[in-house]
Each structure stands twice: as structure tokens, then as C-alpha cells.
Chain A
């Protein structure tokens, strides 16, 4: 972390960048927030630890409009999103100085709390420099601990890898955290009967409160005006009366990012109701891989996206009934 801060100060001092986009220490041990830093003094609050899960690439849309370059800290998975945004002309590569930061898996405070750890006043083991396999918590109800991996975000268990897809320089080591199959959960649902599938999604989506956090955090959902906020489509929605609207919203949300979603997992991370939203996106990814050839959005900036492409002998839609 100190190396990152030093480098950020250096880049600010020598005028390479006008600001730094990273994370600022929060008021609790686990709630750092995305932040812009413009001075060396502000950087004293800079933090980078296991709780810095936020994907900062979406903030670069706004930062691309500012004077001068922005140093942005991107984890390996975040760089896919950044590439995708370059491809869609939403960020300006020239306006970014990308520091690829190492990652040893990001933590979910929800998972920690699900383990019964509450009243947390201090955490150790979440620092990037620390190779500890265990997280230790001081709480008002005594000291607690858990395995680092048990507190990791779902996405880290199916990590795409340690490589950064785009960067200007790299700081820090990354760790292999993958210990599950990316499509295992999707396959589990695919194997269900229609009634079970329906019950599963009905139950999960019944929790949705239409806060739009999944949409607003998504780097692919970067529309100036979402179709669900727009009167132009006669589809403006705010809250449900009936369960249909959630389905409509989540199907279309996933459809609009199909072939563009990098599977960064932010949607599931931020859902206040713990809905496994990645299951929608990953279903599309799995179908695309199987039907149109493996495709990883954000792995490059010039390939044709699966939904703006075709071959003469693509599968017919009836394949859905045949599989």
C-alpha cells in the first residue's frame, strides 16, 4: 500500500497526473470508499486492502471529461471493465494512467456477518502486505476470527486470473483465489425442473427493492439514461406492485449487458438484499460461450461483440427446447 501511495505522490508531483482515483479509509475498519485525491496530504488517507472491492473503472467515465490525466487503481478484474469501456468509447484511454494493483481476493462484510461476527471495531489480516490466511476481528463481543477465503466475495472464488488486461504500470502481487467452477451455479439451476427454476428465481427476485444499485454500479450499464428511467420507451419503472416488473428489469438488465458484461461481480456485491445477480449475467456468458464460441468481454478492445456479430449457421432459437 505504501508503495502505491508513494507512486501516486510522485505522479502527482511530477505532473503526470492531475488526480488519483483510489480508495479512502472509512470510519469503520471495513468501509473504505472510492475517492479522488489531488494532493499529497489527501493521500495520507489512501487505503488499499481486502475491503477495496469497488471496481473503479466506471468512475473513469466522469474522470475522462476532466482536465489532465487521472491515475486509476485497477485490480485485474477491473481492467476487463475498463477495456470494455474503451471499446464503447465511454472512457478516454489517454486520460487514464492505469496502475494495475495486485489482488489477493476481496472481502465481503456481509459474509463476515453471516459467520456471526458482529460489533466489529478492528480487523487484521485484510491488508495487502499480509499473507495471513486468517482474518482476526476485535468486536465489542470479544475477539473473533475466520478464514480469509470464507469471507471472500463470490466473484473471487471464480477469479478470471491475475493478469491485468490494460495498464501503464503494475504495483503489488496477486494471488490465485479460484477454487470453484465459474458456471457451476448456473449448471445447477439449468438442471432444475421448470417449476424449481421458477420457484428459485421467484424467491430471489421477491427480495428486490428496485434500488438500482446493481445497475448503477455496473460498468457496462453506463447509459446516460437507462431505458427504465426513460419515458421514451414507455418502460419507466420505479417500484413494483406485482412481481413481473422485477423479472422484466433483471432480464433486460442482463440482456443489455450480454456480450458486454465482463463478469466483474459488482452487481452481486452491492445488492442490499443479497440477490445473486451474477447468475443472470453468467447464464448469458455461458450460452454465448457454448453457442457462439468462447468470448470474454473486456479481454481486448477491438473484437466484435457476440450480439453484434453472427455466422450463417448459428444455432436456431429452437435449440433452447432441444438442449
Chain B
């Protein structure tokens, strides 16, 4: 497989909570479960640390998709963080959808430290979805386009 420059190569930011999803991504790594290199992970202590501004910022700077991964509801290391994240992200995603931004560009997935397979599968699916949506043109700052 060689890199074709013509091909659409999405920029995807994945916010992963330190305790479950980041570990899940580590497990995907140590289990050699491949997913596209387009996904870049940012470690946050908890999904509740993800500010909607981070997500919009990513889109502003040219991201084509943003995914937030946290512990399964009930399993949050901080007991309640992902519950808050869940409400925040639901409302934010709904607003983006309301404004005509394709709703497949954002996603929340709960991935435990044991779910390396799920992490890899989720990322593969998400990248595929972004490929089908194509480049993000509705929510970016033109100045950041190359």
C-alpha cells in the first residue's frame, strides 16, 4: 500500500479518556489490531474533560471528523464524568446537525480498557464514514485549508 497524494486523507481527532479508552487503544496496539493512520489520539483524563470548544477548534483547523471515547456509562474512573460528557456531546452534536453539519462527523463511543477489538473496529468504521462524507467543508476556517 503506498500513499496516493490525490486520495482524500481525512484528519481525524480522537479524544480518549486515560483510564478506559486510551488503554483500549493501547490494547488495540499491543494486539496489532490495525486501523487507519488518519486517526490521531489526544489523551484526556476523562471524557468529561472534552470541551465542545476543542471539537469545534478541531473542525476549524481542518479536522474532518472528531470522535470522543470514554469509559462505558457506569464505569467512569471518576464515577460520573462520562455521564456529563454524554449529555454535553448529545446536545452539541444535535446543534451541529441542526446547523446542517453532517452528523456522521462526530461520534461518541464507549470503549473499555479491555476492548481493543472494539477500539480498532470503531476507528475503522469511523474512518470509513468520514471517507463516505468526504472533506469537511461546512465547519472549517478557509484560512486553514492548504
Contacts and interface: CB of A to CB of B under 8 A. Distances in A.
Is there a contact between chains A and B in the complex with CB atoms less than 8 Å apart? yes
A318 B56 contact: no
Interface stretch (B3-11, B12-20, B32-40, B89-97): B89-97
Contacts of A236: none
Interface stretch (B21-29, B80-88, B113-121): B80-88
A306 B95 contact: no
Residue of B56, B84, B106 with highest tally of chain A CB at under 10 A? B56
Interface stretch (A3-11, A45-53, A247-255): A247-255
Contact of B99 (A233, A242, A247, A287): A247
A184 interface: no
Given A242-B141, A244-B141, A248-B56, A316 B83 contact: no
Contacts of A198: 99-101, 138
A131 to B, nearest CB: 40
A319 B90 contact: yes
B134 interface: no
Contacts, number: 114
Interface residues of B, number: 38
Contact of B74 (A201, A280, A312): A312
A181 interface: no
Contacts of A314: 73, 83, 86-87, 90
B100 A245 contact: no
A196 B27 CA distance: 43
Contacts of B108: 316-318
B90 A321 contact: no
Residue of B53, B74, B92 with highest tally of chain A CB at under 10 A? B53
B91 to A, nearest CB: 6
B53 to A, nearest CB: 6
A321 B104 contact: yes
Contacts of A287: 90-91, 94
A141 interface: no
Given A227-B53, A244-B141, A199 B100 contact: yes
Given A194-B102, A241-B143, A244-B140, A307 B88 contact: yes
B137 to A, nearest CB: 10
Interface of A: 186, 189-190, 192, 194-202, 227, 233, 235, 241-245, 247-248, 251-252, 254-255, 258, 280, 283-284, 287-288, 291-292, 306-312, 314-321
